[in-house]
Amino acid sequence: MSDKHYDALPKTHTTYANIIKSLLPIGDNAKVGKDELPQATYYVDDLHIDQSNLQDYRKICGFADDGKVPVTYFSVLSQALQMNMMVKEPFPFAMLGLVHVDNSVTQYRPIGERETVAMSVTFDNLRDHAQGQQFDFVTTIKSHEKVIWQGTSTYLSRSKKPDSSVSTKSAPRPVTVKPMVDEEGVHSIFEVPEDIGRRYAFVSGDFNLIHLHPLSARAFGFPKAIAHGMWSKAKCLAMMGELPDACTVEVSFKLPIFLPAEVELIAEPVTELENVEDSCNFGLYSAKNDKPHLAGVIKLLDEDE
The per-residue pLDDT for 48 is: 97
The per-residue pLDDT for 115 is: 97
Mean local confidence (pLDDT), 51-75: 98
- pTM for this predicted structure: 0.89
Considering only CA atoms, which of 227, 298, 245 is closest in space to residue 69? 245
The per-residue pLDDT for 167 is: 44
71-80, 141-150, 157-166 — which is least confidently predicted?
A: 157-166
- Residue-wise pLDDT for 265-302, tens only, equals 999 999 989 998 999 999 999 999 999 999 999 999 97
The per-residue pLDDT for 168 is: 45
Burial label for 246, CB within 10 Å (0-12, 13-18, 19+), is middle
- Residue-wise pLDDT for 186-206, tens only, equals 999 999 999 999 999 999 988
**How does the average pLDDT of the chain come out, rounded?**
89
